[in-house]
A and B are shown apart, each in its own frame.
Chain A
């Protein structure tokens, strides 16, 4: 098994392996590069912030700080979900923020050769959020770009 992986990598030569954490929203799976993830917090109930832009999912207490969360559901025009949600704490240039998802899946090791850019037919709004996709055996894993999900970027991108 391990030898097979090695030969596979050798065949591809330049290709590197990428570790990706999969997250679920309803029935769709998305991927987040693990290099940006600080921590995963399960079963959180964010405190809503009145008058905040719609994509702000609320505040959570995270290691002594107050963390602003971004609702992936809102960004993808899905109805809000009641009950606890999982949070992926992401690090970006502007500091930390949390990404609210329905559930966190597993960590996958993917090969960079399987990666493809966004299709040109994707609408502009989604194209701004998604980074491309990995071709898995049976499905596509759509990648999220943590930098583009940063609330500061979002606030300048869409005037709420």
Chain B
């Protein structure tokens, strides 16, 4: 294919994408002249270029479309539902021809005359009406729209939202008189947009993705070299400044190359209106689509990877979430359901939410279905809370069509959604309230190529464990090994906070026939991993530093082993294989149900206790004990006191430009004052959408709390919990005041709730 045709294909695809977006918008604002102009231009450009390139079939079809669009643009025709459907068909027709050209280099010999005739009919059917309307309108000196002839589907509300003009009540009489001048108003309102697009086009240029990939690889190389230089020059004072500089430049460069690969999520969000429109017509649902955070950017390859899962989630929401209008009305809801797509940043992740206000997932039915399908035992099911039950919809067993309709929750291929998202290192969460709706949350890492990993040692070799699946580390020295590691028929288990955690010894797994040192002859480090919802402990001989590693693909032969997801070069120049926790779990037979069963082996009482109470991180602040809900804890940082800086007298930590407010009601920082080398421990927590640090003097343990009741009542007390037999105050993160946009009150210091014991 020659360069010209390729260019044409890319341009036309972009034009058609824009046309699709405009068409779905047009449905809401059928009189928007700006939109019509945009659509017309897209088709016109295609027609013009095709004539030049000699694609006759494409030209004919585009020409038929252009005629219809011309009438629309000139206001001789009104965009009705029928016309929009026709235009969407035109879009599909053009797309399929372009696809054929791309694949075969020629247009193929498909037949479009039916579609062309249909488009012509659309012109004719309405020209008559439009002309009468047109004359009527022309008489009153207005050029545009034919409100009386075509009862527009729902022009009133959208118009009201676009231009402040007509009060809804007034729209009925206004139908008799020529439409108020809002078309012009809108034209003006819409005008700045095309201009903005044009200027954006001038300051940007097209770059081949392979070139970007190559750049990314090179930057990865540079990151490796930097790591090596940093390690090599660590002890050389002359080189320190230089290597620092190299470090910074590399970080900057990496960030910018990554930015170059970023694309706004609107690239996939923009496909959704069409899907929602088509599906809601097929399914007989009324759905309003709300989109937020369209500018949120994500690596191109990741964006591609989540396209399918996201489409799946949207389909599910329409199919199983949002009820038919009559059901909704009967339930006292608005007949029109709302589907919300939301994208936002959170740390090094992008969160994409698909939420609907539909029926939600009937948890009880999930439970019943799970028992029926033998996924979990009846006893176990009875113990599961709502959250755990909801997780079950991600099991492959729930993905068959029958299960879905019976369960009436969503389940079609939810396992596929999860697998796809986890493949790129993301996570899927689901939240649902019966009758209120369901929210599906996809947590996607910002980039694929460079990931944080923990380097572990086994068999005298280094291996990399992706931090994403690592939840905690446990060290068992040789003398404690016999007491801590328990065995059931050759299967090693560790009691992690009362729950039995199956252990996998990495050395035994990697050299099944080799000789192994027993657990009591060496240090055991248990990396507690969470892969696809399976939890297990991977036992390694030693731990090295966490490192940002550049993922290098493995050759097919080694990929087939299944345990490694890639390899990387470490700072010291060594190669390390990247372990794939999911495959290790699979290979060693750790499954979800196995875990459930093992958990059920422990005494029932313990299990219920575990499920009842929240888990807390027990910390000590200046001699007092306090509890932080474990679910809110992001990480624990140990850093020199010099890292703490002050805004006014509020302590903050600067993480690459992100300020973390530090709560120091325990006076830990004050106590360390004057000793800049002193190390302080800061527990970094999530509070709603922000992060908050809590300065503590010591992290003691993790334990599950029990409820406390005020004597003589059944009223649960707030702010305290029973931890390890002690009544312990729970830190209220919400009380930490946000950092002031401009310096105002800081007097309202909140304390870490006091220990009552």
Contact = CB atoms under 8 A, between A and B. Distances in A.
A94 B558 CA distance: 13
A61 interface: yes
B461 A47 contact: yes
Nearest to B459: A50
Contact of B511 (A50, A53, A56, A155): A50
Interface in A48-73: 48-53, 56, 59-61, 64-66, 68
B223 to A, nearest CB: 11
A154 B557 CA distance: 9
Which applies to chain B's interface (DSSP): helix, strand, loop or mixed? mixed
A51 to B, nearest CB: 5
A90 B566 CA distance: 21
A52 B557 contact: yes
9 contacts: A48-B461, A49-B577, A51-B561, A53-B557, A56-B558, A64-B221, A66-B552, A152-B556, A155-B557
A79 interface: no
A151 B555 contact: yes
Contacts of A68: 554-555, 557-558
B216 to A, nearest CB: 11
A60 to B, nearest CB: 7
Contacts of B569: 61, 66
B557 A152 contact: yes
Interface string B561-594: 1011011110001111100000000000000000
A97 B553 CA distance: 13
A80 interface: no
Given A60-B575, A61-B569, A51 B563 contact: yes
A56 B567 CA distance: 15
B570 to A, nearest CB: 10
Interface in B528-570: 552-558, 560-561, 563-564, 566-569
B575 A47 contact: yes
Contacts of A155: 556-557, 560
B294 interface: no
A47 B552 CA distance: 15
A63 to B, nearest CB: 9
Interface residues of B, number: 29
B220 interface: yes
A61 B552 CA distance: 10
Nearest to B462: A47
A95 interface: yes
When A and B form their complex, which 10 residue pairs have the shortest distance between CB atoms, in order from nearest? A50-B510, A68-B555, A47-B575, A151-B557, A66-B567, A66-B552, A64-B221, A155-B557, A51-B561, A61-B569
B621 interface: no
Contacts of B554: 66, 68
B217 interface: yes
Most buried by A among B220, B573, B575, B576: B575
Interface of A: 47-53, 56, 59-61, 64-66, 68, 94-95, 97, 151-152, 154-155
A151 B558 CA distance: 9
B218 interface: yes
B215 to A, nearest CB: 12
A22 B574 CA distance: 29
A61 B573 contact: yes
A54 to B, nearest CB: 11
A155 to B, nearest CB: 5
A52 B555 CA distance: 11
B220 A64 contact: yes
Given A48-B461, A68-B557, A59 B510 contact: no
Q: Which of A48, A60, A94, A97 gathers the greatest number of chain B CB atoms within 10 Å? A: A48
A47 B568 CA distance: 11
Contacts of A65: 552
Given A53-B557, A66-B575, 20 more contacts: A47-B461, A47-B574, A49-B561, A50-B459, A50-B511, A51-B510, A59-B558, A59-B577, A60-B575, A64-B218, A66-B554, A68-B555, A68-B557, A68-B558, A94-B556, A95-B555, A151-B556, A152-B556, A152-B557, A154-B557
A30 B557 CA distance: 25
A53 to B, nearest CB: 7
A152 B459 CA distance: 27
A94 B557 CA distance: 11
Contacts of B511: 50-51
Given A51-B563, A56-B557, A68-B555, A61 B510 contact: no
Nearest to B570: A61
